[in-house]
Structure 1
Amino acid sequence: MTPTTSTTSTTSTTRLTVAQALVRFLSAQYSERDGVRQRLIGATWGIFGHGNVAGLGQALLEYADDMPYHQGRNEQSMVHAAVGYARQSNRLSTHAVTTSIGPGATNLVTGAALATVNHLPVLLLPGDIFATRVADPVLQQLEVPYAGDVSVNDSLRPVSRYFDRIMRPQALIPAALQAMRVLTDPVETGAVTLALPQDVQAEAYDWPEEFFAERTWVVRRPGADPTELADAVRAIRAAHRPLLIAGGGVHHSRAEEALAEFAGATGIPVASTQAGKGSLRHDHPQDVGGVGHTGTATANELARQADLVIGVGTRYTDFTTASGTLFTGDGVRFLNLNTAPYDSHKLAGLPLVADARNTLAELTQSLGMHAHRVTDAYVAEYSLDKERWEQRVEACYEAEEPDVRPTQPQVLGALDALVDESDVIINAAGSLPGDLHKMWRARSRDQYHLEYGYSCMGYEIPAAIGVKMAAPERNVWALVGDGTYLMMPTEIVTAVQEGIAIKILLVQNHGYASIGGLSEETGAERFGTAYRHRLDDGTFSGAPLPVDLAANAASLGMRVLRAKTVRDLRAALAEARAADTPTCVYVETETADTVSGAPPAQAWWDVPVAETATRASAVKARELYERHVSTRRRHL
C-alpha cells in the first residue's frame, strides 16, 4: 500500500489506518537526557490474534523498516522482556507490546503491574472489542450486563499509569501524546495502555503530517528547593550516626558517581535496597551491603543505631524497613531525597524533592564548605563489621570438597569467581534474592538486576532477553530456581529463534525453597511447598518428582550443560560464559526442605501467623510473632 497525501491551504494530511498511523508515530518518538538522544520505542513485541492481526499486525508489516518486530510466546513474558530492555536502557528507551483481545490482553496484567510497581516504562497495545458493536458479542468478549462499554482491557486500568481506549481515529492523537508524556516522566512512568478496538485499528483517517514529525521528549532533572536543601544540610551536619540507603532511584538518575563522591567526602556508610544494590561497588569503603530483611548484619546494625537515615530514591518497602522494626535508634529522623513527593514524605521524613544525581552533588559541595565528615571512630566501627561480614560470605562461597554437590551459596560463589564488571545477573523470586542481596559482590552499577518490587516468578528469562537486546556486548545471566523456571520457560524459544545468547543458571532444589522456609517459620510446616510425590496420607512427602528440567530446556532448542559437582559447575559456567549461543547450566543443589547454607535473615519480616491453632508449630510461631510485632515502630 502507498499512502496518499493531500494538501489543503492549512495543512497536509496522509490517509492511513489507525494502526498504521500509530506505528509511524511511535517510530518518530525520541527521549533525551543530558544531551543524549535515542529512540523512545525501540521495537514492538507481538502475538497476533483476531483482535490485532489485521490492524497492528498489518501495520507492523507495512512499516517493518521503521519499527523492528519481535515474536513472543507468552504475552506476560513479552512485557517482561520490554521491561528488562527499559531498565537496562536507564528508562530512556522501551518496547511496545501488542496482543489480541481476550486471553492475550489479560495475560498482560501481571507484566503491567510489575512495570508500574518498579516505575519502568512499557507501552501496551491490546486489541479490544468492536467500537461500532456490529459484532456483539465478538469472540472472547466479556459481556457485562450493567455496562456495555466494559471489556477485559479494563483489568489493565489499576496497573497502568495511563489508560485510554481509542474509540475513534482522531482520539489517537491526544492519547498517543499523553502516552509519551507518561512514559518519559521520571515520577509517573510505568505501564501505559492504549486499548485499540479491532475495527478502529483498521479504519482509515486523514492524519495531519505534523503528527508524524519527530518529537523529542526531554527527561527532566528537577532541582532542589533551596529551603529543603538547607534543611537537609543542617540535618546531616547534626547527625552523629547517619546511614544512607540507596534505592533504585540512584540507578534511574545515573547518580552512582555522585553518590560515591558524597560517601567518600562525608564518610557516611551506604546500605542498599534490592533495587539500589550496585549503587556503590562492593569494594567501596563506604558500601556496607544490603539493608533490611535480606540485608547484611553490618548494614542492619547500623540501621538500628542510626540517628539519621538518608533515603535516596527508595520507596521504603517492608523488606527495607523490616516491617517497621529496623530503625529503632533514639530520636531517629529521616531525610528523603526522591523525585516523587509521595516517597519523599514517607516515615515523616524531611522531604528533598529533586533529582538524585544533581542534588547529591549539591549536598557534597555544601557539606564540603564546612569540612563535614563523620568521626573516625564511626568509620572504623563499620569498616571492621564490613570486613567480618565479607569473611562470612567467603566461608559460604568456599567449597572445600570440589567433587560434591554444591550448596546454593557455593553456586553463587562459583559464578562470583568467574564474572567481571561487564556481566549482568538477573533474578526476581525464590530463595535466590535473599542470598544475592546478602552476599553478591556487585562490580558495576548495572550488574545486579533484581526485580523485587513485584518479585515476579518467571521474569528472569524474558528479562534477560530484553537486557541482552539493550546491551548485546554484555554477558547476561538469568538465575532461576526450578519453581520459577516452570512458570515461564517459553521465551527460550525466542532466544533461540533470534540468536540472543543469554545464559541461564538453572538451580534445581525440588520445590519452592524460599516459601518452604517461610512456611516452617510461620508454623505452616512447609505444607504444599515441595515438588514430591503424594503419599497415601495425602502429604507431598514422597520421593522428589522425576522431572528433568535440563531436558526440557534442551527440547526448546537451548544448549544445556549439566553440572553434578562443584568442579563440574565451575567448568560449565566458564564454557557458558564463552558461548555465543543461548546456553543453560543446570545444577542440582539441596532439596527444598533443607537450608541453603546462606546466613539467616538479619532482620524481621511481617508475615502474619495464625492467631489461634491446635498444631504446636503454629502456636510456637505465633508466640515469636507477637514478640516481633511488639518492636514495631511508627515514625511520626
Structure 2
Amino acid sequence: MSTPASEPGTVRLTVGQALVRFLAHQHTERDDVTQRLFAGAFGIFGHGNVAGVGQGLLQAHAEAEAAGVPAGEAGPDELPYYLARNEQGMVHAAVGYARTRDRLQTFACTASIGPGSTNMITGAALATIDHIPVLLLPSDVFATRVPDPVLQQLEHPGGPDVTVNDAFRPVSRYFDRIWRPEQLLTSAPAAMRVLTDPAETGAVTIALPQDVQAEAFDWPVEFFRDRVWHVARPVPEPAALERAAAVIRSAERPLVVAGGGVVYSAASQALRDFAAATGIPVADTQAGKGAIAWDHPQAVGGVGATGAASANALAATADVVIGVGTRWTDFTTASHTAFRNPDVRFVNLNVAAFDAAKHAGEMVVADAREGLRALTQALSGYSTSEEYRAEAAQEVADWQEVTDRCYHLGHGPLPAQTEIFGALNELMDDEDILINAAGSMPGDLQALWRARTPAQYHLEYGYSCMGYEIPAAMGAKLAAPDREVVAIVGDGTYQMLPQELATIVSERIKVIVVLLQNHGFASIGALSESHGSQRFGTRYRMRNPETGLLDGDSVPLDLVRNAESFGLEVLVAKGVEDFKDAYRTAAAGDGPVLIHVETDLYGPNPPGSAWWDVPVSGVSTLDSTRGARAEYDRSRAPQRPYL
C-alpha cells in the first residue's frame, strides 16, 4: 500500500515511515532464542513528529489491519504504539522493559521538537549509566532552515547546525542527526549495533529534523529485510584467565562482588556453581542483588555504603576481590574505604574493558557467564579454608538477626518503612518484581531485602533517579505480564513523576504502587542532619511567617485523592497488618492499585556499617556543621585509591 517506487527494487516511503518499518524488522538472538528487538514505541506527539514518525506508526498499523492482522498483534512492518504522558517517564518505561528482558528487547521513544525532546535527556543519562538499551527519536529543526527560527528552536550564535538535541551527545552511546533521508541507510544499522552490544549499549539517539521525517525517498527493499543481531558471549583470553586464576589461588580471604552484568548475562547458575566449587563468599551490588539467592551458603549480602555488615566485614579484610559485572561505583566501594587490606588486589571479570581495568585489576574481558565457567575450571582444586567459611557464615547469621529485627520492629505510632519492606519480602513470590530507585529506600533494601531470584530485585541505583519507579513498573509489567510488579515510592518521588499512572490506567496494566508517605525527604533529611545541616529544606511544611522558613504547619497534600484522580483503585493501610491485607487484595485483583501507608520520617533505619563521601563545609559558624566536619575528616582517613 506504499506509494509506487520510481526505481525497480525500491519502495517509496517517508523517512518516518521507513524508520518504523526498519525497526519492526530488527531482531536479537542469544543462546538460540530469537525475538524482536523492539516491542513497540512510546510517544508523545507534537509539531515535529506528529506528521512524521507519528504518521509512520499510524500507517504501519493501518496496513497491518488491512492485511487482516488480529487486534492486539503486531503486523510485520508495525511497532505497537503506547501514548505516554511524560517524555522522561516514557524513557524510564523503556528502560524498565529492557532491563526485565535482560537487554534483549526494548522500546523506541519519539518526542516533539524542543522541550518534548529535551525532556528525554534525563532518561537518556539513566539508560547510558546503567548500560540499558533504549532508542530515542527526538524531533529537530528544519533541515532546509527555511522557516528558521521555528517554534521552540534555540538559535545558537556559534553555528546554525547546533540545536538543543546536541545536549543528547554526552549522555548517549551513539548519536546522529539525519539531515538527508539517505543518511538513515548507514546510521540506522550503526545504531542497532550499539543497542545490541553488551559492552557498548545504552541510550542511542537519532535526531530527526521535522521536514526530513516527512520527506519521501526511494528506499532499497533490502533495507527492510529481517535482520538478526547476535548478542555476543565473549570468552576469556587464555592468558588473561591464567593470570586471574593465579591471583585468586594466592588468596586466603577472597571475596566476589556480583554486579548487574551477572543478571543481564543470565549467569546466576554459573555464579552459584563457582561459589559452591570454591567456597568464595559472594557479596552483591544494587544491580547484582538476587544473582545469588540470599540463603545460598556463600551469599553474604549487599556490600558498600548501604550494604550489610556481614559483607562489609569480609570486604574490610579481603586480600583478593573478584568483581563480576560491576562498574565499581562509590557506593559499592564505600567511597574507596570498604576494602581496607593494604595488600588487596582485584580481579575484574567484565564484558567492557573500561570497567575491567578499574582498581588496577587483573582484567578478564568476557561475558559473565562464560567467564565464570572458565574461572571455575581454571580454579579446579582450589577452595577457601573451613575457618574462613565458618567466619563468613557467622557474619551472615548475625546480620540475619538484625534483618529480622528491622522487619518486625513493632514501631509506632507510625511503622518504620523497614517493616513494610519486611511484609513485602514475605508476601511477594520469587518471580515477582520489586522496583525502586531513590531516597532512603534503596539503602534499606540493599541491606535487608532477601532476594531469592535475579528477577525479583529491580533497583535503579546507577543514576538513582527520583520518579523512575512508576514508569519503570509499567515497562516491567509489559515485559512480564504474568508476574506481579510492585513499585515502592515515597511521597517525594511520587510528586516528581506520577503521570504515567494515567498510561497505566488507560492501557489496563496491572501494577501495584506502594506509596509510603512520611511528609518529607527521609534520606536527604538524615544525611543533612548527620552532616551538620539540621534537616534544612527536607520536610514538607508551610512557610512560617514568624521565622521566614519552611517550618510551619504540614502541607495539606492529599495524595490519596490525587492517585484516585488518575483512575486507580486506592487502598489506605493503617499499619503493617493492614498493609498486608491491602497487598493481598491488590494482588488478587486484575487492575492497577495504589496502596497508601504513612510511615515514620525518622526511621529507624538499619544500622550502618560503611561510609559514603559527602563533603562537609570546611568552615562554618554553626556548631553542628563544625562537629560534622570533624567527623568527616576522621571518616575519610582510610580512603585511598586502589593502585
- Equivalent AA in structure 2 for residue 267 of structure 1: G
1: distance between equivalents of 2:320 and 2:2?
65
Give 1:417 deviation, angstroms.
Answer: 1.6
Q: 2:321 aligns with which of 302, 305, 309?
A: 309
Alignment of structure 1 residues 87-486 onto 2, 5 Å: 87-368=99-380, 371-400=381-410, 404-486=413-495
Q: Show the counterpart of 2:87.
A: 75
Q: What's 1:512 paired with?
A: 521
1:556 is aligned to 566
Moved more, 565-574 or 460-469: 565-574
Q: Show structure 1 runs of 4+ deviating over 3 A.
A: 5-8
Hey, what does 1:2 align to over in structure 2? 2
Alignment correspondent of 2:540: 531
Residue 607 (structure 1) aligned to one of 609, 614, 624:
614
User: Which stretch of the first structure deviates more once superposed, 298-307 or 564-573?
Assistant: 564-573
RMSD (Å) for aligned C-alpha atoms: 1.1
Which one-letter code corresponds to 2:613 in the other structure? Answer: D
Residue correspondences, number: 627
The percentage of aligned residue pairs carrying the same residue is: 58
By how many angstroms is 1:7 displaced?
5.3
- Alpha-carbon distance between aligned partners in 2 of 1:624 and 1:543, rounded to the nearest angstrom: 33
Cα distance in 1 between the residues matched to 2:18 and 2:132: 25
Partner of 2:461: helix, strand, or coil?
A: coil
Distance in 1 separating the partners of 2:522 and 2:563: 21
**Separation in 2 of the partners of 1:198 and 1:320?**
44
Query: What one-letter code is carried by the residue in structure 1 that aligns with 2:38?
Result: I
Counterpart code for 2:556: P
Shift of 1:175: 0.5
* Equivalent-residue separation in structure 1 for 2:620 and 2:58 (angstroms): 61
Which TM-score applies when normalising by structure 1? 0.97
Describe the shift of the 1:404–1:626 C-alpha distance in structure 2 as closer, same or farther (beyond 3 A).
Answer: closer
1:601-620 per-position Cα deviation (integer Å, ceiling 9, x unaligned):
21010001000001001100
Is it true that 1:622 corresponds to 2:635 in the alignment? no
Code of the aligned partner of 2:608:
A
Q: Which residue identity lines up with residue 72 of structure 1 in the other structure?
A: A
1:342, distance to aligned residue in structure 2 (A): 0.9
- Pair 1:631 & 2:613 matched: no
1:51 maps to what in 2? 48
Amino acid at match of 1:447: Q
Counterparts of 2:60 and 2:385, CA distance in 1: 62
In structure 2, give the amino acid aligned to 1:33. Answer: R
Residue 565 (structure 1) aligned with residue 584 (structure 2): no
1:367 Cα offset (Å): 1.5
Q: d(CA) in 2 for partners of 1:269 and 1:358? A: 20
> CA offset at residue 330 of structure 1?
3.1
Q: Is the 8 A contact 2:2 2:13 kept in 1?
A: no
Residues 41-90 of structure 1: CA deviation (Å, up to 9, x unaligned):
11001100011000011100000242100000000000000000000011
Alignment partners' CA distance in 2, 1:355 and 1:257: 14
Shift in Å at residue 397 of structure 1?
0.8
Q: Give the SS at the match of 1:148.
A: coil
Aligned residue number for residue 23 of structure 2? 26
**Matches of 1:452 and 1:243, distance apart in 2:** 22
- Within 5 A, what are the aligned runs for 1:568-587? 568-587=578-597
Does the 8 Å CA contact 1:30/1:38 hold for their aligned counterparts? yes
For the residue of structure 1 that corresponds to 2:331, the secondary structure is helix
Q: Deviation per CA, 1:439-489: give whole Å up to 9, x if none.
A: 001011110000000000000000000000000000000000000000000
- Match of residue 598 from structure 2: 588
Counterpart position of 1:63: 60
The one-letter amino acid paired with 2:384 is: V
Alignment partners' CA distance in 2, 1:27 and 1:451: 28
What is the CA–CA distance in structure 1 between the aligned matches of 2:410 and 2:536, rounded to whole Å? 34
Match of 2:507 in 1: 498
Q: CA deviation at 1:572?
A: 0.5
SS of corresponding position for 1:210:
helix
Q: 1:255 is aligned with what amino acid? A: A
Distance 1:488 1:599 in 2: 28
Range with greater deviation from structure 2 (560-569 or 495-504): 560-569
Q: How far apart, CA to CA, are the structure 2 residues paired with 1:543 and 1:381?
A: 51
Q: CA deviation at 1:210?
A: 0.3
**In 1, Cα distance between equivalents of 2:417 and 2:79:** 42
Note the alpha carbon deviations across 1:342-365, whole angstroms, 9 max, x for none. 111111111111111011011112
What's the CA shift for 1:244?
0.2
**Partners of 1:617 and 1:409 in 2: CA distance:** 28
Helix, strand or coil for the counterpart of 1:506? strand
TM-score (norm 2): 0.96
Deviation digits for residues 199-237 of structure 1 (CA, Å, limit 9, x no counterpart): 001000000000000000011111111111001111111
5+ residue gaps, structure 2: 62-74
Could you tell me which amino acid in structure 2 is paired with residue 630 of structure 1?
A
In 1: Cα distance, 2:413 partner to 2:590 partner: 29
1:202 partner letter? A
Instruction: Give the residue type in structure 2 aligned to 1:519.
Output: S
Q: Distance in 2 between matches of 1:198 and 1:616?
A: 58
Q: CA deviation at 1:399?
A: 4.7
State the secondary structure of the residue aligned to 2:332: helix
Q: Secondary structure at the match of 1:63?
A: helix
1:42 maps to which of 34, 39, 43: 39
Whole-Å Cα distance in 2 between the matches of residues 127 and 400 of structure 1? 53
Q: Is the 8 A contact 1:118 1:454 kept in 2?
A: yes
Is the 8 Å Cα contact of residues 7 and 218 (structure 2) preserved in structure 1?
A: no
Question: How far does residue 306 in structure 1 lie from its aligned partner after superposition?
Answer: 0.2
Distance 1:44 1:433 in 2: 30
Letter of the 2:134 counterpart: V
8 Å Cα contact 1:338/1:353 also seen in 2: yes
When structure 1 is superposed on structure 2, of 510-519 and 596-605 the one drifting more is: 596-605
Distance across 2 between alignment mates of 1:600 and 1:4: 70
Shift of 1:6: 5.3
Contact 2:2 2:12 in 1 (8 A): no
Q: Equivalents in 2 of 1:2, 1:211: separation in Å?
A: 15
Q: Partner letter of residue 539 of structure 1?
A: L
Q: Could you tell me how far apart the structure 1 residues matched to 2:139 and 2:7 are?
A: 32
Contact 1:405 1:566 in 2 (8 A): no
